[in-house]
Amino acid sequence: MAGIYIHIPFCSKACHYCDFHFSTLLKNKIAVVNSIAQELIIQKEYLGLSKVSTIYFGGGTPSLLSTLELEKILKTIRQNFVLEKEVEITLEANPDDLTLEKVQELKATGINRLSIGIQSFHQNHLDFFNRSHTEKQTFLAIENAKSVGINNLSIDLIYGFKDLTEEQLQFNLKQISSYQIPHVSAYALTVEPKTALSSFIKKGKVDPPSEELAKTQFLTIIDYLQKEGLTHYEISNFGKPNFFSKHNTSYWKSEPYLGVGPSAHSFNGKNRQWNIANNVQYLKLIHDEKPMFQKEELTEKDKLNELIMIGLRTIWGIDKKKLSKFSSGLQKQFLNELKKYLSQQKITETETSYVLQKKYWFLADGIASSLFQV
């Protein structure tokens, strides 16, 4: 099992909170797509013998790509990689791009899952985030997708900001049940450095998000979605059975993945590498046939720490079988640090893993860090 991630580094508008790599200058779009196709060929050996079971277009805004551009990439993948019979092909899409015509075309390319960047169903929030779509387009996008039979839908929601009232949050959640959305990614608004949002906060134009509010709204969301039959399987992800994101799950189960496009990361079990986060330089490096990535080999400790960090964020916990592959010294040290949490019942032991109790998920990073081996 392996995944391919394609980073499409273009957006029509810059959201105030976003720190992903993207450009609002679309003039290089065709060139980047061509280079991505070239990179796929250059990196065709990266995944070794693993068959590709998921393909994920992320960004940026991949729905800005034309059908031809998407097809070119997908064709290159089919020609150069061994694919499983059933492949999950996800496209991150902005509601304003999802016209009826567009979703029909997308479906024809083989894309079978859409992750729609709704964020909120309220115009004042979309304005606050500087999103490119309108409140009206959020509903239309979902309706269009469903009308052509793409039912494997995920929507993104943002919570934990002052302007999101209790009623508005309830309204947002209500749409999930009325549209029968099988998957939701709910993100607490995070202030990333060097974003417009962080500068507004520094200047005092916007209040910093309150942890208290984030926690309260987080609990509301968990409660609501669980009742709707969506499993809370990762800190920010909820899905009905069979609708968990296969691609993202593979990140959390340490499966290999190849990332192509500017700023994309790859992992093959031994090393991680990341492409240059600059469109023009990326184009030039591909053109000059020079390495477009930096690489780090993972030590045993690095791998163990990743296992801990990711494991604590999911319902699957830290896998005992994977743990048993580490040296007995490292295992011992880890189990020693773990004792405290087991006795406090913050982490519970199952037959196959160590799982962080749900009420402590909001503290997962600090707990992971304290279990790290450095």
Partner 1 sequence: MKNIRNFCIIAHIDHGKSTLADRLLQTTGTITDRQLQEQTLDDMDLERERGITIKSHAIQMVHKHEGETYVLNLIDTPGHVDFSYEVSRSIAACEGALLIVDATQGIQAQTISNLYLALEHDLEIIPILNKMDLASAMPEEVTDQIVDLIGCEPEDVIAASGKSGLGVDNILKAIINRVPAPKGDPEAPLQALIFDSVFNQFRGIVAYFRIMNGSIKKGDQVKFVNTGKEYGADEVGVLGLDYIPQKQVFAGNVGYIISGIKKAKEVKVGDTITNVINPCDKAIQGFENVKPMVFAGIYPVDTDEYEELREAMEKLQLNDASLTFEPESSAALGFGFRCGFLGMLHMEIIQERLEREHNMTVITTVPNVSYIAYTKKEEQIIVNNPSDLPEITKMDRVEEPFIAAQIITKSEFIGAIMTLCIEKRGVLKNQVYLTSDRVELQFEMPLAEIVFDFYDRLKTVSKGYASFDYQPIGYQASNLSKLDILLNGDQVDALSSLIHRDNSYHFGKKICEKLKELIPRQQFDIAIQAAIGAKIIARETVKALRKDVTAKCYGGDISRKRKLLEKQKKGKKRMRQVGNVEVPQSAFMAVLKLND
CA distance 58 to 9: 8
Residue 53 phi, psi dihedral angles, 5° rounding:
-115, -15
**Binding-residue total with partner 1 (CB under 8 A):** 42
Determine, following the binding rule CB under 8 A, whether residue 5 of this chain makes contact with partner 1: yes
Interface of this chain with partner 1, residues 301 to 340, rule: CB under 8 A: 302, 305-306, 309-310, 313
First to last CA, the chain: 30
Determine, following the binding rule CB under 8 A, whether residue 362 of this chain makes contact with partner 1: yes
Q: Would you say 35 and 24 are in contact if contact means Cβ atoms under 8 Å apart?
A: no
Determine, following the binding rule CB under 8 A, whether residue 61 of this chain makes contact with partner 1: no
Complex with partner 1: residue 104 or 254, whichever CB lies closer: 254
Q: Which residue has the tokens 């909820």?
A: 238
Determine, following the binding rule CB under 8 A, whether residue 365 of this chain makes contact with partner 1: yes
Q: Would you say 76 and 109 are in contact if contact means Cβ atoms under 8 Å apart?
A: no
Determine, following the binding rule CB under 8 A, whether residue 198 of this chain makes contact with partner 1: no
Complex with partner 1: residue 103 or 221, whichever CB lies closer: 221
Determine, following the binding rule CB under 8 A, whether residue 111 of this chain makes contact with partner 1: no
Complex with partner 1: residue 101 or 296, whichever CB lies closer: 296
CA distance 229 to 361: 20
Determine, following the binding rule CB under 8 A, whether residue 370 of this chain makes contact with partner 1: yes
- How many angstroms separate the Cα of 327 from the Cα of each of 265, 308, 318, 319? 27, 15, 16, 15
Tell me which of 172, 236, 279, 353 binds partner 1, using CB under 8 A: 236
CB atoms closer than 10 angstroms to residue 14: 14
Tell me which of 60, 62, 259, 311 binds partner 1, using CB under 8 A: 259
Tell me which of 33, 111, 188, 230 binds partner 1, using CB under 8 A: 188
Of 27, 55, 140, give the one whose Cα is nearest residue 94: 140
Of 89, 72, 65, give the one whose Cα is nearest residue 4: 89
- Beta-carbon contacts of 194 under 8 Å, excluding residues fewer than 6 positions away, are 19
Interface of this chain with partner 1, residues 264 to 303, rule: CB under 8 A: 264-267, 272, 274, 296, 302
At closest approach, how far in Å is the CB of 46 from partner 1? 13
Half-sphere exposure of 25 (CA within 13 A, CB side): 7
Contact positions toward partner 1, by CB under 8 A?
Answer: 5, 58, 187-188, 190, 211-212, 214-215, 234-236, 248, 251-252, 257, 259, 263-267, 272, 274, 296, 302, 305-306, 309-310, 313, 361-366, 368-370, 372, 374
